Amino acid sequence: MSLLLKNASIITCDETGTVIEDGALGIRDGLIDYLGKYENELHKKYDRVIELKQKTIMPGFVNAHNHAAMTLLRNYADDMKLMDWLFNKIFPLEDRLTEEGAYWGSSLAMLEMIKGGTTSYCDMYMFMDKTAEAAAQCGIKASLGRGLQGESGDDMDYRISEALELYRSFHKGSDGRIRVNLAPHSVYTCSPAYLEKVARVAREIQASVQIHLSETGDEVTNCVEKYGMSPVKLADKAGLLNERTIAAHCVAVDDEDMEILREREVNVVHNPGSNMKLASGISPVKTMADMGINIALGTDGASSNNNLDMLEEIRTASYLQKVISKDPTALPVDQVLKMATVNGAKALGFENTGVIREGMAADLIVINTQKPWYYPRYNTKSAIVYSGNSSDVEYVIIDGRLIMEKGEIITMDEERILYEVQKIAERMSSI
Ligand SMILES: N[C@@H](CCSC[C@H]1O[C@@H](n2cnc3c(=O)[nH]cnc32)[C@H](O)[C@@H]1O)C(=O)O
Ligand SMILES: [Zn+2]
């Protein structure tokens, strides 16, 4: 089916930050095949025309770090420090997670992400085949990794076997919308020998790698005490760092660490909401971006954020860097929009999304900017970044397919998801 969206402001997120006013965007065979001003008779070339009445089209957001099924643990343990939260609350409850729970928790996350304008995301968790099933059904683009942790560098452990099985079953599946990555959890849950093994496997199958790296000062102190070097250096020594690597957090990094990340062309994912809630600190994102490191944005899991709202993440990222550098020019509108779109696409290895341009995948959202908080319209990009609400997202299109129309999800049963999630959460927490 071909589709024409007309009479919209179009934020492209391209190199020069182009915005097309009173624009039209044509979609055919999943790709953007027209971008520009509406021309006479253009509508005749398309099966369906949607009149957008001055609403705004932009690329869908890329949530580059998440643990989708952790929506099941949302608001279960708040106001705690990372290690206490993780080891004493989260890991024990996760031991009770079932396949069914992972499926419905992931579905809830995807429902929330799509409603807030996210069209691609990255996941690290357990029961990832169930998450893949949910992604295939709802149509979101996803890079999925079975979380890995372990001690031994010798024989294959069951988590790596599951990761490889996931790779064989789902990598480049669902018309290319699903990718599979390798996901060693961190330097404090994986031994150096184990990290080396994961790096070896990743090289063999040319897979992307994602890891939590230097999330807190404590992680760095413990790593230096135990191994005599920082987490970044340890990961580099294990052979994990290259242009296909996604390093989540990078809060407690020094100049040498940042230089390694730059040299290895690692993609850094900034998760400001999670870092603030767990009081992990503020990642030196402006410094790293100025060095030329690709910085993407993520929400992290819903248990440490506590939502999956990329627009909130965008604004927080910008404000935090302004505050910490005492420089209001830090992370300006165009830069932070790129972090949430095209930089994330690059990090995940989705090469034809994140930008609105002819020939790119039609992964885009429509925001209803006909609301009080977007007026007057001096600058549509600023209005969205500094005054917008994710609940104003009305249409979501992925690979040219309408996933949400006028605020109604087409590919998922919203009521059923809320019902199943509540049932499972009550069962999990009452044992
Ligand atoms: N624990 C799993 C493997 C790891 S999955 C990814 C893990 O990351 C955890 N996680 C979520 N958010 C964070 C974070 O911010 N930092 C560190 N770990 C996190 C999450 O609770 C989950 O256990 C197993 O037994 O097989
Ligand atoms: Zn995480």
3-class DSSP string for 350-403: CCCCCCCCCCCECCEEEECCCCHHHCCCCCHHHHHHHHCCHHHEEEEEECCEEE
Q: What 3-state class would DSSP assign to 60?
A: coil
Binding site membership of 219 for ligand 1 (Cβ less than 6 Å): no
Strand 3-11 relative to strand 19-28: parallel, antiparallel, unpaired? antiparallel
Atom of ligand 1 nearest to the CA of 274: 15
Annotated ligand binding at 203? The verdict is no
Q: Is the ipTM of this structure higher than 0.95? A: yes
Task: Report mean pLDDT in 10-residue bins for the chain, 431 residues.
Answer: 96 97 97 95 96 97 98 94 91 94 98 98 98 98 97 85 97 97 98 97 97 98 98 98 98 98 98 96 98 98 96 98 97 98 98 97 98 96 98 98 98 98 92 62
CA distances 154 to 91, 115, 198, 235, 331, Å, are 25, 44, 11, 18, 45
Per-residue model confidence (pLDDT) at position 431: 62
Domains contained in the chain, CATH given: 3-59+352-409 (2.30.40.10), 61-348 (3.20.20.140)
* Cβ pair 16, 355 in contact under 8 A: no
Annotated ligand binding at 67? The verdict is yes
Binding site membership of 145 for ligand 1 (Cβ less than 6 Å): no
Atom of ligand 1 nearest to the CA of 73: 21
State phi, psi for 263 to the nearest 5 degrees.
-60, -40
- From CA 126, how far away is CA 146, in angstroms rounded? 6
Binding site membership of 86 for ligand 1 (Cβ less than 6 Å): yes
* Cβ pair 246, 348 in contact under 8 A: yes
CA distances 172 to 141, 209, 335, Å, are 10, 16, 30
- From CA 285, how far away is CA 270, in angstroms rounded? 7
